[in-house]
Amino acid sequence: MGKLASTGIQKSEGLAIIRIRIWIFHILSLGILFVPVNAQIVTWTIITFFIRVFAWEAGSHRYFSHRSFKTSRAFQLFLAVLAAASGQRGPIWWAQHHRHHHRESDKPDDPHSPIHRGYWFAHFGWLMDERYIDTDLDAVKDLAKYAELVWVNKYHYIFPYIVLIFTFILGQYTAVFGDTGLGVSAIFWVFIFSTMLSAQSTFSVNTLTHGIKASLFNHRRFTTDDSTTNSWLMCIPSMGASWHNNHHRYMNSARAGFYWWQLDLAYLVLKLLSIFRIVWDLHPVPIHILEEGRHAPDSQNIIAE
Ligand SMILES: [Zn+2]
Ligand SMILES: [Zn+2]
């Protein structure tokens, strides 16, 4: 294994491969309609869905993008591998483009603003656009200084394949999913369908909490200079990421649900991990921001035109 450069542009795999992978994954999800299924398979589909959502929300987002808590170098690598295995490319790539999103939020240069780019481009078109497939390591030096993270970022696509093989073996040769001989069902449900749903959960944060007017499902608690809203409807499937107006008001905190009634499952898991000292220094929301949100009108219908 050669040493990879830790500076400059790290090239991704080819654009055609990326496009084919995304489309095939979505089309193959329909395979769940044609394979045998049972309660154990559905249960594991749900469990692995939440593991994958945790990987991108707690790993790629709150840790790698915002450094909102601290951990050991070993658990940092674990989070990077988990994030790559969950099928949303490398964590450094994720963080670089996400930091860009915060800097340019809902401005013309935002890679996935539904206001400037249209709904479908913001939802997942941008992932298949040549401008956004590489990783600019110079823009994320705090992450690129770790050689192992640079390696996981480059070869991220290996990890989902390992999960694929592992899932097939478990389904085919063990009774984890209720019986043996269920390898193909396990692949379609526990691997493909679960990964597709977890990716859609991320995409939906970009398009259901940006550019949507306040309504029964979305509200703006904070006055930010973008179009973000908090979506309670998405808070469980996104494990808290949909408290997105909060997050754009203060992106450095380890929690996106700022108040007790804003369910934030990723934060609860991080709190649990902090009890065992696996993670620590969970960055809190400053008191004055909590106060600001308490006194704000609940449904400011502000949207950038
Ligand atoms: Zn955003
Ligand atoms: Zn963020």
Q: With 60 as the cut, is the pLDDT of residue 302 above it? A: no
Q: What is the mean pLDDT of residues 220-245?
A: 96
pLDDT of residue 304: 38
Q: Which residue has the higher pLDDT, 304 or 157?
A: 157
Helix (H, G, I), strand (E, B) or coil at 177: coil
How many folded domains does the chain comprise? 1
In a domain, 305, yes or no: no
CA of 244 to the centre of ligand 2 (A): 8
Nearest to 44 by CA among 200, 238, 188: 188
- Domain of residue 170 covers 12-213
Question: Could you give the percent of the chain with pLDDT greater than 70?
Answer: 96
Q: Which residue has the higher pLDDT, 303 or 181?
A: 181
In a domain, 250, yes or no: no
In a domain, 59, yes or no: yes
Helix (H, G, I), strand (E, B) or coil at 230: strand
pLDDT of residue 213: 87
pLDDT of residue 301: 45
Q: What is the mean pLDDT of residues 18-46?
A: 97
| First-residue to last-residue Cα distance in the chain | 50
pLDDT of residue 247: 98
CA of 33 to the centre of ligand 1 (A): 34
In a domain, 296, yes or no: no
Q: Which pTM does this prediction carry? A: 0.95
pLDDT of residue 305: 32
pLDDT of residue 298: 54
Give, as residue ranges, everything with CB less than 5 Å from ion ligand 2. 251
Q: 95-104, 264-273, 292-301: which has the minimum mean pLDDT?
A: 292-301
176-183 CB contacts, 8 Å cutoff, 24+ apart: 176/40, 176/44, 177/38, 177/40, 177/41, 177/44, 178/38, 178/39, 178/40, 178/41, 179/38, 182/36, 182/38, 182/41
AA letter at 256: A
In a domain, 152, yes or no: yes
CA of 36 to the centre of ligand 1 (A): 39
Q: With 70 as the cut, is the pLDDT of residue 299 above it? A: no
Q: What are phi and psi of 280, to 5 degrees?
A: -155, 175
In a domain, 227, yes or no: no
Q: 5-9, 33-37, 112-116, 301-305: which has the minimum mean pLDDT?
A: 301-305
CA of 62 to the centre of ligand 2 (A): 7
Those residues whose C-beta lies under 8 Å from the C-beta of residue 120, and which sit 6 or more positions away, are none
In a domain, 155, yes or no: yes
CA of 48 to the centre of ligand 2 (A): 23
Q: What is the mean pLDDT of residues 68-91?
A: 98
Q: With 90 as the cut, is the pLDDT of residue 243 above it? A: yes
In a domain, 290, yes or no: no
What is the average pLDDT value for the chain, to the nearest integer?
95
- What digits encode the pLDDT tens for the residues 88-121? 999 999 999 999 999 999 999 999 999 998 999 9
